[in-house]
Each structure stands twice: as structure tokens, then as C-alpha cells.
């Protein structure tokens, strides 16, 4: 082809024109293109092959590839072309749609750089380290070449800025899962969970993607000072759903209510007629409540406290005092125990003076006779 003909063909093109062409040769730093419907050759510099850094042109294209290109520069015998600009223009349109629709899509991690990951979406997409996972990652080296799901969280075409997040996808999925669980839960339901966190006021249990709180009072029938005394992180536990606040996504759980109640088989643990040790927990006007087992209290009626007549239980008992009691009656269904303290105490001996006044003493005063009888008793 003559130089004059080339120059004529060159004049038919302007910067910004869109052309298509076939890759005829791939060199280290550039690619030679046979431009369709023209006798001209085109050249794509390696910097115009991709939005990402390319070490060798063969990493981006191969001989025989049909490419859509844009004219960057018109030279005397050839056109300088860009694949990157055409790819970017198409990509920005698609990416804007994905961004506006909140679409989730897959992409391969092309590179790991300081501060995050790089993705090729026709334009360079950046995933900051904080947006890669919902947890801390110390080393990202194994992420290169990995395909992950992403959402676009920032898009500014004018600044060529595209920020992606995998973490947003994870959290969105977790949110959907949370709502599904919330909708399916019912008060009274018993399910398995895993202790996630322990605090001073209770334990948070994961029940399949959402955490519920087991308040310290719902950990055990026994008194608990520290939740860590009863449960540990990672422990599998059975929990009962007490209540669900769907608006605030709060779930109240109980471990205690999945355990055998303290009154279960109480007739075997405290059979009628048995003698047991207990602690006075509460004093009321009509008696004393004595704790025999954790969560099990029985009533010692005021009439069963002492053989002596007492006005109030406070006269002979105090809270926290250890006492021995006899079980008078057991009612497991109504969770009632009738107890007695006096049944285990000896009645104080009562002396009864039985006498008949002699005939000859009838003139004496009764008081004198009683005095004489007492003297005889002392002897």
C-alpha cells in the first residue's frame, strides 16, 4: 500500500472515533490491529489495553481477538487506539445500573495492594480492607484470583472512582436471614444455640444468624453472681424463647426454663415425714419461708415454729438462719411444701401439781399449802 493511500485513509478518521479491528500481532509493549473496512493498521499501546496494570500485552489480548476500540491519535500511517476507553465507557453504564439497583454481582480479585483489593470491571474497582469481610483480616495474599460477590458502595465516573464492598453483601444476607428467623420464631419455642458473648448481665446466644439475650436471672434456677460461672463462649445450649421484639430485633431467651425445674420430683427429694436442713429466706406475719433446695421454699406456719406461743416469727427466727425442718406435706403440682420446726424439738417438761387438801388443813390459806408443796418438791 502506498504512503499516499495510507494518508488518505488516515484523514477519514478523527480522535474519538469508534472502530473495530482484528488483533494481528501481539508485541511486548503494544498490539497491532487490522482495522475493519480500512487498509490501515492500528496500534494499541500496552497502557491502553486495560484499566489495570499489564506487564505484557499478551496478558490482555491474543492474536485473532476482535476488539472495539477508540481513536486516540491520528498519525501519518497509523491510528493510535485504546481498548481501555471503550471498555470503560461500556462498563460505567453497566456499573451505574448495578449501583442504582443495589445489585450484587461476582468478580475476580485481580490484585492485592496496600489497603485493599483490586477488581477489573472494565474500570478499576477498589475494595478497601475494611470492606472485604465482616471480620478483621490480617493477610489478604490468598485473596488474589478468588471470585467474590460485591456491591458498589461509591461510584464517581468523573473521578474514575469505583468502591466495592463484599462486607455489605455479607451483612445484607445476614439481615435477610435475621428477618427470616425473627418471622419464624415463636414464644415458648425451644431451640439450640451457641453462646457468643458473655457480659455482666447475661449471655448472648446465636440461634442461627441472630443473637438473643439470656439474662443472668434466666441462666439457672440457682443464684448466679457471674454468667461466666455457668456458661462459656462457644458452648452449645438449649434455650427457650421468652419474647420477641421484631421492631427492635430483640429476642429474650432462657436456659433455665429448658432445665428440670427445682420442683421436679420434689416428693422424692423431700418426702413427707423427712427431716431436712434449710435456710430461712423470708419472715412474714404468718410464718417463715425456708429454702430447702435452690428455688424450692417451704412454709413453716407460725404455729409450727415453736411449742411456745409466739406473737411473730421474728421472736425466734431471723433471715439467713440455718434450721432443721420436718416435711409435713408435699404438693408438687402447686409447688407447696408445709414444714415444721417444732416437730423436731422436744416439748419442755411441764410440772403439774396434783393434790387434795387434808381435812385438818382446811383452815389454812391455799397459798400456804402451795408453798409447802413446793418445799417438798425441792427436797
Domains and their CATH numbers in the chain: 3-86 (2.40.50.140), 102-170 (2.40.50.140), 188-258 (2.40.50.140), 261-379 (2.40.50.140)
Q: What are the tens digits of pLDDT across the range 350-368?
A: 444 444 545 544 444 444 5
Taking residue 237's Cβ as centre, other Cβ atoms within 10 Å add up to 19
What CA–CA distance (Å, rounded) separates 125 from 161? 8
Q: How far, CA to CA in Å, does 372 sit from each of 96, 116, 368, 378?
A: 120, 111, 6, 10
Pick from 184, 188, 187, 233: nearest CA to 210: 184
Phi, psi of 220 (to 5 degrees): -155, 160
Q: Mean pLDDT, the chain, as a whole number?
A: 86
Phi, psi of 139 (to 5 degrees): -125, 120
- pLDDT tens string, the chain, 379 residues long: the values are 445 444 546 667 888 889 999 999 999 899 999 988 777 889 999 999 987 788 889 888 999 999 999 999 988 778 999 998 888 888 898 999 999 999 999 999 999 999 999 998 888 999 999 999 989 998 999 999 999 999 999 999 889 899 999 999 999 988 888 888 888 899 999 999 999 999 999 999 999 888 999 999 999 888 889 999 999 999 999 999 999 998 888 999 999 989 888 888 899 999 999 999 999 999 999 999 999 998 899 999 999 999 999 999 999 999 999 999 999 999 988 899 999 999 998 765 444 444 454 554 444 444 454 455 545 544 4
For the entire predicted model, the pTM comes to 0.52
What CA–CA distance (Å, rounded) separates 42 from 33? 5
Q: What's the Rg (C-alpha) of the chain? A: 46
Determine the length of the chain.
Answer: 379
E strand segments, the chain = 18-26, 30-35, 41-45, 66-74, 78-82, 105-113, 116-120, 124-128, 147-156, 161-165, 190-199, 202-206, 211-215, 236-245, 250-254, 275-284, 287-293, 296-301, 322-331, 336-340
Q: What are the tens digits of pLDDT across the range 26-49?
A: 998 999 999 887 778 899 999 999
Q: What are the tens digits of pLDDT across the range 78-98?
A: 899 999 888 888 889 899 999
Q: Is 336 helix (H, G, I), strand (E, B) or coil?
A: strand
Amino acid at each position: 500500500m502506498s504512503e499516499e493511500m495510507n494518508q488518505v485513509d488516515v484523514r477519514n478518521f478523527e480522535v474519538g472515533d469508534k472502530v473495530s479491528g482484528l488483533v494481528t500481532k501481539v508485541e511486548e509493549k503494544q498490539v497491532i490491529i487490522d482495522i475493519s473496512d480500512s487498509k490501515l493498521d492500528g496500534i494499541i499501546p500496552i497502557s491502553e489495553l486495560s484499566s489495570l496494570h499489564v506487564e505484557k500485552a499478551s496478558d490482555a489480548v491474543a492474536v485473532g481477538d476482535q476488539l472495539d476500540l477508540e481513536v486516540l491519535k491520528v498519525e501519518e500511517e497509523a491510528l493510535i487506539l485504546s481498548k481501555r476507553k471503550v471498555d470503560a465507557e461500556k462498563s460505567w453504564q453497566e456499573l451505574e445500573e448495578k449501583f442504582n439497583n443495589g445489585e450484587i454481582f461476582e468478580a475476580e480479585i485481580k490484585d492485592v495492594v496496600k489497603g485493599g483489593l483490586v477488581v477489573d470491571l472494565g474500570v478499576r474497582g477498589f475494595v478497601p480492607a475494611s470492606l472485604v469481610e465482616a471480620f478483621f483480616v490480617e493477610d489478604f495474599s490468598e485473596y488474589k484470583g478468588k471470585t467474590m460477590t460485591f456491591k458498589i458502595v461509591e461510584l464517581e465516573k468523573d473521578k474514575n472512582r469505583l468502591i466495592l464492598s463484599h462486607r455489605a453483601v455479607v451483612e445484607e444476607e445476614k439481615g435477610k436471614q435475621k428477618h427470616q428467623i425473627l418471622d419464624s420464631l415463636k414464644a415458648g419455642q425451644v431451640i439450640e444455640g451457641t453462646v457468643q458473648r458473655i457480659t455482666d448481665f447475661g449471655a448472648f446466644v446465636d440461634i442461627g444468624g441472630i443473637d438473643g439475650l439470656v439474662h443472668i436471672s434466666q441462666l439457672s434456677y440457682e443464684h448466679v453472681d457471674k454468667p461466666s460461672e455457668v456458661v462459656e463462649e462457644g458452648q452449645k445450649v438449649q434455650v427457650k424463647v421468652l419474647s420477641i421484639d421484631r421492631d427492635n430485633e430483640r429476642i429474650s431467651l432462657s436456659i433455665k426454663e429448658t432445665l428440670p425445674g427445682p420442683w421436679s420430683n420434689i416428693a422424692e427429694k423431700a418426702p413427707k415425714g423427712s427431716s431436712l436442713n434449710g435456710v430461712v429466706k423470708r419472715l412474714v406475719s404468718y410464718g417463715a419461708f425456708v429454702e430447702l433446695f435452690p428455688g424450692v421454699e417451704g412454709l413453716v406456719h407460725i404455729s409450727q415454729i415453736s411449742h411456745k406461743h409466739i406473737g411473730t416469727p421474728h421472736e425466734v427466727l431471723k433471715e439467713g438462719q440455718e434450721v432443721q425442718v420436718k416435711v409435713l406435706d408435699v404438693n408438687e403440682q402447686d409447688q407447696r411444701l408445709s414444714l415444721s420446726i417444732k416437730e423436731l424439738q422436744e416439748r419442755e417438761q411441764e410440772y403439774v401439781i396434783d393434790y387434795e387438801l387434808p381435812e385438818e388443813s382446811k383452815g389454812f390459806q391455799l397459798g400456804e399449802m402451795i408453798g409447802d408443796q413446793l418445799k417438798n418438791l425441792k427436797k
